[in-house]
Amino acid sequence: MQRKAYEVEYGLVGSEMVMRDRADTGPGVPDADKGSIFHRYEKKQRGVGEGLGLYLAQILVERYGGRIWAADRVPGRPECGAAFQFTLKKA
């Protein structure tokens, strides 16, 4: 099955933040792993990549005053794909 990616711009969050959402139809991220996937070299049983991408994304987003997190593409159904959401200060 081919993974389909979605990108949605949410616009302003409050008066000074912009929120972005990046989602796909892949295997998703179990609730228990949503926090740990942002740790350096974290790939566990998923076995994909080198475990640096989300770690570096978190460093960059936080350095610019934002926040990043993993969510379900379909709320409450992690098996239906992942959504990675982040906020950044409005330029």
pLDDT at 89: 86
* pLDDT digit string, tens, across residues 44-64: 555 556 678 899 999 999 999
Task: Report the percentage of the chain scoring pLDDT > 90.
Answer: 35
Residue 90 binned pLDDT confidence (cut-offs 50, 70, 90): confident
The residues, ordered by sequence, that sit 6+ positions from 65 with a Cβ below 8 Å of its Cβ are 88, 89
63 vs 82: CA distance, rounded Å: 24
